[in-house]
Protein backbone atom coordinates (compact mmCIF):
# COMPACT_ATOMS: atom_id res chain seq x y z
CA UNK A 1 0.00 0.00 0.00
CA UNK A 2 1.44 3.40 -0.92
CA UNK A 3 2.67 5.33 2.13
CA UNK A 4 0.69 8.48 1.22
CA UNK A 5 -2.65 6.73 1.52
CA UNK A 6 -4.34 6.16 4.88
CA UNK A 7 -4.94 2.49 5.64
CA UNK A 8 -8.43 1.26 4.94
CA UNK A 9 -10.58 -0.87 7.19
CA UNK A 10 -12.93 -3.42 5.67
CA UNK A 11 -15.68 -4.27 8.11
CA UNK A 12 -18.07 -7.20 8.15
CA UNK A 13 -20.33 -5.52 5.59
CA UNK A 14 -17.46 -5.25 3.12
CA UNK A 15 -17.23 -1.46 3.27
CA UNK A 16 -13.77 0.06 3.13
CA UNK A 17 -13.69 2.88 5.68
CA UNK A 18 -10.87 5.29 6.43
CA UNK A 19 -8.99 4.67 9.64
CA UNK A 20 -8.95 8.38 10.39
CA UNK A 21 -11.57 10.85 11.56
CA UNK A 22 -11.32 14.49 10.50
CA UNK A 23 -12.63 16.41 13.49
CA UNK A 24 -12.82 19.70 11.59
CA UNK A 25 -15.05 18.29 8.83
CA UNK A 26 -18.84 18.29 8.86
CA UNK A 27 -21.13 15.25 8.84
CA UNK A 28 -20.03 12.21 6.87
CA UNK A 29 -16.99 14.10 5.60
CA UNK A 30 -15.50 13.37 9.03
CA UNK A 31 -15.00 9.76 7.92
CA UNK A 32 -14.65 10.07 4.15
CA UNK A 33 -13.68 12.69 1.59
CA UNK A 34 -15.84 15.81 1.27
CA UNK A 35 -16.88 15.02 -2.29
CA UNK A 36 -17.38 11.32 -1.50
CA UNK A 37 -19.75 12.31 1.31
CA UNK A 38 -21.61 14.76 -0.94
CA UNK A 39 -21.97 12.18 -3.73
CA UNK A 40 -23.10 9.41 -1.36
CA UNK A 41 -25.67 11.72 0.24
CA UNK A 42 -26.91 12.65 -3.23
CA UNK A 43 -27.40 8.99 -4.15
CA UNK A 44 -29.41 8.51 -0.94
CA UNK A 45 -31.47 11.64 -1.69
CA UNK A 46 -32.31 10.38 -5.18
CA UNK A 47 -33.79 7.30 -3.51
CA UNK A 48 -33.56 4.94 -6.48
CA UNK A 49 -30.73 3.67 -8.67
CA UNK A 50 -29.55 6.75 -10.54
CA UNK A 51 -27.33 7.42 -13.54
CA UNK A 52 -24.17 9.44 -13.05
CA UNK A 53 -25.72 12.43 -14.84
CA UNK A 54 -28.55 12.68 -12.29
CA UNK A 55 -26.02 12.56 -9.46
CA UNK A 56 -23.83 15.15 -11.18
CA UNK A 57 -26.77 17.54 -11.73
CA UNK A 58 -27.60 17.44 -8.02
CA UNK A 59 -23.98 17.80 -6.89
CA UNK A 60 -23.17 20.68 -9.26
CA UNK A 61 -26.03 22.73 -7.75
CA UNK A 62 -24.01 23.17 -4.56
CA UNK A 63 -20.44 22.21 -5.46
CA UNK A 64 -18.54 23.19 -8.63
CA UNK A 65 -17.17 19.96 -10.05
CA UNK A 66 -16.63 18.37 -13.46
CA UNK A 67 -18.89 15.52 -14.63
CA UNK A 68 -15.91 13.17 -14.94
CA UNK A 69 -14.95 13.91 -11.33
CA UNK A 70 -18.40 12.81 -10.15
CA UNK A 71 -18.13 9.63 -12.22
CA UNK A 72 -14.70 8.94 -10.72
CA UNK A 73 -16.05 9.43 -7.19
CA UNK A 74 -19.07 7.20 -7.93
CA UNK A 75 -16.72 4.45 -9.11
CA UNK A 76 -14.47 4.91 -6.05
CA UNK A 77 -17.56 4.49 -3.86
CA UNK A 78 -18.37 1.27 -5.74
CA UNK A 79 -14.81 0.01 -5.18
CA UNK A 80 -15.05 0.86 -1.47
CA UNK A 81 -18.35 -1.03 -1.20
CA UNK A 82 -20.64 1.95 -0.50
CA UNK A 83 -22.44 1.76 -3.87
CA UNK A 84 -23.28 -0.83 -6.49
CA UNK A 85 -23.72 -0.15 -10.18
CA UNK A 86 -25.75 -1.88 -12.84
CA UNK A 87 -26.36 -1.17 -16.50
CA UNK A 88 -29.89 -0.05 -17.38
CA UNK A 89 -30.86 1.27 -20.82
CA UNK A 90 -27.19 1.57 -21.72
CA UNK A 91 -26.33 3.72 -18.69
CA UNK A 92 -24.68 2.77 -15.44
CA UNK A 93 -27.03 3.34 -12.51
CA UNK A 94 -25.65 3.68 -8.99
CA UNK A 95 -27.38 2.55 -5.80
CA UNK A 96 -26.34 2.74 -2.15
CA UNK A 97 -25.73 -0.65 -0.54
CA UNK A 98 -27.37 0.48 2.71
CA UNK A 99 -29.69 3.18 3.93
CA UNK A 100 -28.20 6.38 5.30
CA UNK A 101 -29.27 5.60 8.87
CA UNK A 102 -27.68 2.13 8.71
CA UNK A 103 -24.47 3.69 7.42
CA UNK A 104 -24.44 6.35 10.15
CA UNK A 105 -25.00 3.65 12.79
CA UNK A 106 -22.17 1.52 11.41
CA UNK A 107 -19.74 4.44 11.18
CA UNK A 108 -20.73 5.79 14.60
CA UNK A 109 -20.04 2.42 16.17
CA UNK A 110 -16.65 2.26 14.48
CA UNK A 111 -15.74 5.77 15.66
CA UNK A 112 -16.80 4.96 19.24
CA UNK A 113 -14.79 1.73 19.19
CA UNK A 114 -11.79 3.81 18.09
CA UNK A 115 -12.12 6.52 20.73
CA UNK A 116 -12.55 3.98 23.51
CA UNK A 117 -8.81 3.43 23.21
CA UNK A 118 -8.47 6.75 25.11
CA UNK A 119 -10.04 4.96 28.06
CA UNK A 120 -13.70 4.04 28.50
CA UNK A 121 -14.13 6.13 31.66
CA UNK A 122 -12.83 9.32 30.07
CA UNK A 123 -14.90 8.77 26.93
CA UNK A 124 -18.10 8.04 28.88
CA UNK A 125 -17.60 11.10 31.07
CA UNK A 126 -16.97 13.27 28.01
CA UNK A 127 -20.11 12.02 26.26
CA UNK A 128 -22.20 12.75 29.35
CA UNK A 129 -20.65 16.21 29.80
CA UNK A 130 -21.09 17.21 26.16
CA UNK A 131 -24.70 16.00 26.05
CA UNK A 132 -25.46 17.78 29.33
CA UNK A 133 -24.17 21.03 27.80
CA UNK A 134 -25.57 20.68 24.29
CA UNK A 135 -28.65 18.44 24.42
CA UNK A 136 -30.08 17.52 27.85
CA UNK A 137 -33.00 15.67 26.23
CA UNK A 138 -30.57 13.43 24.37
CA UNK A 139 -28.73 12.84 27.65
CA UNK A 140 -31.99 11.68 29.25
CA UNK A 141 -32.60 9.37 26.28
CA UNK A 142 -29.08 7.98 26.69
CA UNK A 143 -29.88 7.26 30.35
CA UNK A 144 -33.02 5.35 29.30
CA UNK A 145 -31.07 3.43 26.66
CA UNK A 146 -28.41 2.46 29.20
CA UNK A 147 -31.05 1.26 31.69
CA UNK A 148 -32.75 -0.85 28.97
CA UNK A 149 -29.43 -2.37 27.94
CA UNK A 150 -28.50 -3.19 31.55
CA UNK A 151 -31.90 -4.83 32.12
CA UNK A 152 -31.49 -6.84 28.92
CA UNK A 153 -28.01 -7.96 29.95
CA UNK A 154 -29.17 -9.04 33.39
CA UNK A 155 -32.00 -10.98 31.71
CA UNK A 156 -29.41 -12.75 29.54
CA UNK A 157 -30.33 -11.15 26.20
CA UNK A 158 -27.71 -10.43 23.58
CA UNK A 159 -27.26 -6.79 22.49
CA UNK A 160 -29.91 -5.87 19.94
CA UNK A 161 -32.33 -8.65 20.95
CA UNK A 162 -34.82 -6.66 22.94
CA UNK A 163 -33.34 -3.24 23.10
What count of Cα atoms within 13 Å lies in the side-chain half-sphere of residue 97? 16
pTM of the shown model: 0.74
Q: Which of 8-12, 14-18, 35-39, 111-115 has the highest mean pLDDT?
A: 35-39
Rounded to the nearest integer, the mean pLDDT of the chain is 86
- Provide CB contacts within 8 A for 39, sequence distance 6+: 55, 59, 70, 73, 74, 77
| 18-27, 33-42, 127-136, range with the lowest pLDDT | 18-27
Average pLDDT (131-143) is 94
- Distance CA(122)–CA(72), nearest Å, equals 41
What count of Cα atoms within 13 Å lies in the side-chain half-sphere of residue 120? 1
Residue among 12, 82, 87, 95 at smallest CA distance from 46:
95
pLDDT at 9 exceeding the cut of 50: no
pLDDT on residue 110: 86
Residue among 35, 46, 44, 41 at smallest CA distance from 71:
35
pLDDT at 140 exceeding the cut of 70: yes
- Going by CATH, does the domain composed of 8-96 fall within 1.10.10.10? yes
pLDDT on residue 6: 36
Parse the chain into domains and list their residue ranges. 8-96, 119-163
The band of 40, judged by pLDDT with boundaries at 50, 70 and 90, is very high
Amino acid sequence: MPPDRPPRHSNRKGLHLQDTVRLSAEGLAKVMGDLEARVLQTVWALGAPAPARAVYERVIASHPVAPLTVITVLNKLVTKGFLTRASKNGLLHYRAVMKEEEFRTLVSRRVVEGILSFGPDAVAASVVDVLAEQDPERLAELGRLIRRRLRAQSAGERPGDGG
